[in-house]
């Protein structure tokens, strides 16, 4: 069977984590995590923003496996400030280097520049990475159900909660959503991009949204390019969004963010 992009990422990520552990023992990472800047409430911020408008997780993303280089003029601190000034609720920062040209230092720089909560966007397999996320200052981690077993997902989530962080549980089909609802996190991210083929369709949110439990917060991710896209997804119950590429490609990130969020769908408009 041909290895998918996700399979290839998992293979090098496990090697990367093993090398990180050898270079810096868990005890050292945990010591840094204990002295890191206090956790900023991630899920609570989204909940509050979504009551009257949209909760936007704005992504700092230099490149991707499917699209290559997305933004050449790349300064994480400046981009974070532009997102904050544009009305973003939270940030997502890519820390994976081989596939996304991200970096751990990007997260540190972005978070230091703003008051927004920050998600460490990476492929998480080991609780070492969770402690490392907190040491870097992250307030939330990503758990991709397509890439982990139920036991791994529970272990990662438990570690995040122990550090006081939130976890965004990402799914892209019905089986993954069913597994995600067994976890404690209120944040369910429906990724409109199929992580095996990298094709994107908003039908993924349209289809899966009806199965998201009422006590969970739905975050629609990927393939969102316009206010009309957000309005359409809001009709299916998504009032929180993770958006990166369409904003990263804009010359004026602050204005693009402000424009995207300007006219949220209200109950009267549904």
Active-site residue list? 59, 61, 121, 170, 191, 221-222
Rounded CA separation 65/197 (Å): 11
Rounded CA separation 136/257 (Å): 26
Helices (H) and strands (E) in the chain, counts: 12, 10
Rounded CA separation 258/230 (Å): 13
Three-state secondary structure call for residue 55: strand
241: β partners:
56, 220
Q: What does DSSP assign to residue 239?
A: -
The candidate with the shortest Cα–Cα distance to 40, out of 177, 137, 175, 148, is: 137
Three-state secondary structure call for residue 106: helix
- For 29, 177, 181, 203, 269, the CA distances from 210, given in Å and listed in that order, are 40, 11, 13, 12, 20
155 CB-contact burial (10 Å; exposed 0-12 / middle 13-18 / buried 19+): middle
The candidate with the shortest Cα–Cα distance to 188, out of 126, 240, 249, is: 240
């Amino acid at each position: 069977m041909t290895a998918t992009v996700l399979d290839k990422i998992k293979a090098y990520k496990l090697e990367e984590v093993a090398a990180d552990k050898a270079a810096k023992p868990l005890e050292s990472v945990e010591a840094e995590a204990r002295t890191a800047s206090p956790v900023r409430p991630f899920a609570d911020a989204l909940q509050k923003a979504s009551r009257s408008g949209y909760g936007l997780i704005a992504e700092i993303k230099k490149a991707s496996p499917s699209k290559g280089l997305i933004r050449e003029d790349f300064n994480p601190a400046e981009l974070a400030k532009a997102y904050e000034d544009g009305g973003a609720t939270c940030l997502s920062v890519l820390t994976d280097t081989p596939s996304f040209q991200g970096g751990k230092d990007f997260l540190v720089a972005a978070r230091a520049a703003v008051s927004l909560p920050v998600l460490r966007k990476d492929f998480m397999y080991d609780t070492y990475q969770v402690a490392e996320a907190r040491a870097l200052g992250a307030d939330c981690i990503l758990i991709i159900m397509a890439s982990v077993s139920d036991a791994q997902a529970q272990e990662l989530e438990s570690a995040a909660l122990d550090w006081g962080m939130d976890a965004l549980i990402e799914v892209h089909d019905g089986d993954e959503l069913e597994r995600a609802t067994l976890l404690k996190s209120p944040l369910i991210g429906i990724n409109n991009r199929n992580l095996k083929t990298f094709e994107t369709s908003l039908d993924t949110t349209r289809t899966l949204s009806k199965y998201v439990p009422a006590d969970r917060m739905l975050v629609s991710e990927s393939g969102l390019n316009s206010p009309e896209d957000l309005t359409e997804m809001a009709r299916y119950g998504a009032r929180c969004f993770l958006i990166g590429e369409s904003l990263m490609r804009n010359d004026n990130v602050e204005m693009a963010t402000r424009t995207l969020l300007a006219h949220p769908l209200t109950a009267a408009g549904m």
